[in-house]
Amino acid sequence: MAFSEIAFKALQDIVGDENATTDPVLCQSYSRVQWTADGCVQRGQLGVQMRPNCIVLPRSTEEIQAIIKLANRYDFIFIPRGSGMINSAFTNPTQVMMGKGVVIIDPKHMDKILEVDKNNMYMVIEPYVNFAACQAEAMKVGCMVAVPPAGAQVSALANIQWHGAYGNSWISGLGGHQLLSFEVVLPNGEILRSGSIAQSGAEEDWVWGDGPGPDLRGFFRGAQFGHAGGMGFVTKISMRMFPWPGPTVFPTQGNAVEKESYFPTDKLRWYMIDFPENIQEYPKYEEEQLRWACDFQYEIAKAELAIVVQHNAKQFMWCWAARSKEEFHKGANEDFFPHGYNIVGCCAITSLEQLEYEEKVLKHIVDKMGGTFLSEDSPDPLDRERYKSWMRITNDWIRVGHSMRLSRPSDCFHQGTACVDSIDSVTDEILRANRQQRRELKEEEKGTHLLPISFHGGWISPTEKGYGALMTTDLWPEQEPEKAAEAIQLLLGSLKGMMMDKSAGLSVVLLGPAYDLLGPQIFNVHLLVKEMKKQFDPKNISNPPYATTPDVVPPEQLAEMTKVL
Partner 1 sequence: MSTAAATTLSNIVEAIAGVVGEQNVNTDIETLKKYSGDTSLMSARMPDMVVRALNREEVMGIIKIANENSIPVVPRSSGTGTYGSGIPEEGGIILDLSGMKRIPRVDTRNRWVLLESGVTFGELKDELDKHGMQSLNPLLPRKDKSVITSVLEREPVLTCKTECDEPFKTAEFVLGTGELMRTGAMCIDRIPPEEIPDKTKSDLCSTGGPGIDWWRLLTGCQGTFGVLTVMNVKIFHKPLMQKVVLLPFDSLEDAVMPLYTIQRREVGHECFLLNSYDLAAILARDSGEISSLAAKLPRYCIVLNLWGGQFFPEDRIAFEEKAVAEIVGLYKCSVTETLAAVPDGNECIQGMLNGPWEGDVYWKERQLGGCLEIVFQNGLDKIPALWNRFLALAAESGISPQELGIYIQPRQRCRVCHVEFHIPCDPDGAELARIKAFQRKAAGELINAGAFFYRPYYDWADMIYSRAGYTLETIKKLKAILDPNRTLNPGKIKL
Q: Which of residues 45-64 bind partner 1 (CB under 8 A)?
A: none
Tell me the C-alpha distance between 431 and 449, whole Å. Answer: 22
Q: For the beta carbon of residue 277, count every other beta carbon within 10 angstroms.
A: 10
Size of the site for partner 1 (CB under 8 A): 98
Nearest distance, CB of residue 114 and partner 1, angstroms? 16
Q: Is 250 in the site for partner 1 (CB under 8 A)?
A: no
Tell me the C-alpha distance between 513 and 563, whole Å. Answer: 10
Q: Is 205 in the site for partner 1 (CB under 8 A)?
A: yes
Q: Which is nearer to partner 1, 6 or 528 (CB)?
A: 528
Query: Which amino acid is it at 563?
Result: K
Tell me the C-alpha distance between 226 and 182, whole Å. Answer: 14
Nearest distance, CB of residue 214 and partner 1, angstroms? 4
Q: What is the DSSP letter of 444?
A: S
| Residues 558 and 517: beta-carbon distance below 8 Å | yes
The residues in 321-340 that bind partner 1, with binding defined as CB under 8 A, are none
Contact with partner 1 (CB under 8 A) among 221, 236, 311, 405? 221
Q: 375: which residues sit within 8 A by CB, 6+ positions away?
A: 272, 384, 387
Contact with partner 1 (CB under 8 A) among 51, 193, 311, 402? 193
The residues in 493-512 that bind partner 1, with binding defined as CB under 8 A, are 501-504, 506-508, 510-511
The stretch near partner 1 (CB under 8 A) out of 49-57, 423-431, 475-483, 557-565 is 423-431
Q: 1: which residues sit within 8 A by CB, 6+ positions away?
A: 74, 75, 76, 100, 101
Contact with partner 1 (CB under 8 A) among 86, 136, 223, 306? 223
The stretch near partner 1 (CB under 8 A) out of 9-17, 209-217, 318-326, 403-411 is 209-217
Nearest distance, CB of residue 401 and partner 1, angstroms? 25
Q: Which is nearer to partner 1, 413 or 536 (CB)?
A: 536
- With CA atoms as reference, report the closest residue to 537 among 75, 204, 133, 213: 75
Tell me the C-alpha distance between 59 and 162, whole Å. Answer: 22
Q: Is 146 in the site for partner 1 (CB under 8 A)?
A: no
The stretch near partner 1 (CB under 8 A) out of 82-90, 285-293, 378-386, 529-537 is 529-537
- With CA atoms as reference, report the closest residue to 171 among 565, 468, 418: 468
Q: Which is nearer to partner 1, 42 or 297 (CB)?
A: 297
Q: Is 311 in the site for partner 1 (CB under 8 A)?
A: no
Q: Is 303 in the site for partner 1 (CB under 8 A)?
A: yes
Binding mask 446-465 for partner 1 (x = CB under 8 A): ------------------xx
Peptide bond just before 545 cis, omega within 30 deg: yes
Contact with partner 1 (CB under 8 A) among 334, 367, 482, 531? 531
Tell me the C-alpha distance between 462 and 173, whole Å. Answer: 8
Tell me the C-alpha distance between 144 and 398, whole Å. Answer: 8
Q: Which is nearer to partner 1, 479 or 507 (CB)?
A: 507
Nearest distance, CB of residue 251 and partner 1, angstroms? 22
Q: Which is nearer to partner 1, 508 or 561 (CB)?
A: 508
Q: Is 524 in the site for partner 1 (CB under 8 A)?
A: yes
The residues in 109-128 that bind partner 1, with binding defined as CB under 8 A, are 117, 119-122
Q: Is 248 in the site for partner 1 (CB under 8 A)?
A: no
Q: Is 196 in the site for partner 1 (CB under 8 A)?
A: yes
Tell me the C-alpha distance between 385 and 387, whole Å. Answer: 5
Spell out the SS3 assignment of 155-204: EHHHHHHCCCCCCCHHHHCCHHHHEEEEEEECCCCCEEEEHHHHCCCCCC
Q: Is 379 in the site for partner 1 (CB under 8 A)?
A: no
Q: Is 263 in the site for partner 1 (CB under 8 A)?
A: no
- With CA atoms as reference, report the closest residue to 185 among 100, 127, 257, 272: 127
